[in-house]
C-alpha cells in the first residue's frame, strides 16, 4: 500500500482530489476554497498599520490557517512515509535547456541549485526567491485570488472574472518562463 502510494501520482488522481476539495469545504463549513487570502490575514493580524485593506476581523478566517497547517503536515508525510527515492523526471527538452543554466540536480521537487540558502545570496537566487515571492503576493492580492481561488474555485462557479484572471496568470507565466527567465537564469 505504502509502496503504491509512494510512486508519483498521475494527473487524474490529483485532479479528482483537488476538484473534490471544492464541495468538501463548502459542505463541511460553507468555506470557499482559496489560499492566498492567508497572506492577507497574516498582514491583518500582525501588521495592519491602520490600512483599510487590513482592517477586518481576521479571526473569523482562522480556518484558513488550520487548512495551510494541514498542507504543511501533509507535505511532511508525503516526503517521509510516502517518500519516493527516484529523482524527479523532467521532460528532455527542459532538461537540455536547464543544463545551460547549470541546473542538473533533480533529486528534489525544487532544484537545489536554485532554491537553497547558498543560492539566496547570489543575484540569480535573490531575484528568483525574493522578487518572485513578492510578485506572487502582490499579484495574487491585486487579482483578488490565486490559482486556488480563481482557477479552481472561481472557474468551478463559472465566474468570468476568474477566467480572465486565470488567462492572465498563464500570460504572465508564459512571458516569464520563455522570455525573461532565460536571462535571469544565466546571471
Partner 1 sequence: MSETKNINPSVAFNETTMVPDNDFEVRSLDAVCINESQLQHPWWHNFKYSIVGLVFGITFVKAEIISWFRMQEMFRMQTFHMYGIIGGAVVLGALSVWLIKKYKVKTVHGEHIEFHDKKFNKGQVIGGTIFGLGWAMTGACPGPIFAQIGTGAFVVFVVLLSAIVGTWVYGYFREQLPH
Please list every residue from 167 through 186 that binds partner 1, using CB under 8 A: 167-178, 180-181, 184
Spatial contact of 158 and 41, defined as CB atoms under 8 Å apart: no
DSSP string, 21-56: HHHHHHHHHS----STHHHHHHHHHH--TT-GGG-S
Total residues at the site for partner 1 (CB under 8 A)?
Answer: 139
Q: What is the biggest distance separating any 2 CA atoms in the chain, rounded to whole angstroms?
A: 52
| 43 near partner 1 (CB under 8 A) | yes
Of the candidates 1, 93, 123, 183, which one interacts with partner 1 according to CB under 8 A? Answer: 93
- Shortest Å, Cβ 47 to partner 1: 6
Q: Cβ–Cβ contacts within 10 Å for residue 89, how many?
A: 9
Interaction of residue 110 with partner 1, rule CB under 8 A: yes
Of 46, 41, 43, which Cα lies nearest the Cα of 58?
Answer: 41
Residue 115: left (phi > 0), alpha (psi -120 to 50), or beta? beta
**Is residue 14 part of the contact set for partner 1 (CB under 8 A)?**
yes
Q: How far apart are CA 3 and CA 165, in angstroms?
A: 39
Under rule CB under 8 A, residue 127 binds partner 1: yes
Q: Residue 2 interacts with partner 1 (CB under 8 A)? A: no
Least distance to partner 1, CB of residue 58, Å: 9
CB of 4 to partner 1, least distance (A): 11
Select from 25, 104, 107, 183 the one that contacts partner 1 (CB under 8 A).
25
Nearer to partner 1, 56 or 100 (CB): 56
CB closer to partner 1, 85 vs 117: 117
Amino acid at each position: 500500500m505504502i509502496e503504491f502510494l509512494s510512486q508519483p501520482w498521475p494527473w487524474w488522481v490529483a485532479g479528482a482530489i483537488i476538484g473534490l476539495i471544492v464541495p468538501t469545504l463548502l459542505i463541511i463549513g460553507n468555506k470557499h476554497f482559496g489560499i492566498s487570502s492567508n497572506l492577507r490575514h497574516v498582514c491583518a493580524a500582525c501588521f495592519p498599520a491602520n490600512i483599510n485593506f487590513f482592517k477586518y476581523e481576521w479571526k473569523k478566517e482562522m480556518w484558513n490557517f488550520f487548512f495551510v497547517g494541514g498542507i504543511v503536515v501533509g507535505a511532511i508525510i508525503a516526503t517521509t512515509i510516502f517518500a519516493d527515492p527516484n529523482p524527479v523526471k523532467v521532460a528532455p527538452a527542459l532538461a537540455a535547456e536547464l543544463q545551460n543554466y547549470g541546473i542538473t540536480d533533480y533529486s528534489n521537487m525544487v532544484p537545489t541549485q536554485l532554491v537553497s540558502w547558498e543560492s539566496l545570496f547570489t543575484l540569480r537566487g535573490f531575484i528568483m526567491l525574493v522578487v518572485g515571492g513578492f510578485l506572487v503576493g502582490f499579484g495574487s492580492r491585486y487579482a483578488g485570488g490565486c490559482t486556488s481561488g480563481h482557477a479552481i474555485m472561481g472557474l468551478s462557479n463559472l465566474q468570468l472574472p476568474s477566467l480572465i484572471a486565470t488567462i492572465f496568470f498563464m500570460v504572465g507565466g508564459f512571458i516569464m518562463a520563455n522570455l525573461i527567465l532565460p536571462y535571469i537564469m544565466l546571471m
